[in-house]
Amino acid sequence: MLNVALLLILEKRSRIKARPGYRSCGDAVVSVLKAMVRVRGSPVVERLLLAGHIAGLWGVPLWWDADSGIIREVPFRLAR
């Protein structure tokens, strides 16, 4: 879903566990964001919002549809 190598995520997780704190967490987040590749039709922000929803961090992402003037539920498939 995030289109990031699992090895990178596991490596950053182990570094955070070894040295907990803002710097190691920040380094991990920046590294993952830099590694994310834009997938056609699925911008980074949408993938992050979907991942957070699936992880149980927040509710279903909503999007403003300027053409119709209404708020729509997530414009991408909620795959689990």
The answer to whether residues 80 and 44 belong to one domain is: yes
> Phi/psi class of residue 7: alpha, beta or left (left: φ > 0; alpha: ψ in -120 to 50)?
alpha
The answer to whether residues 25 and 52 belong to one domain is: no
Query: What is the spatial distance between Cα 1 and Cα 39, in angstroms, rounded to a whole number?
Result: 10
pTM here is 0.57
Domain count, the chain: 2
pLDDT digits (tens, 9 = 90+) for 18-58: 999 999 999 998 888 888 876 666 677 777 888 888 888 88
The answer to whether residues 43 and 6 belong to one domain is: no
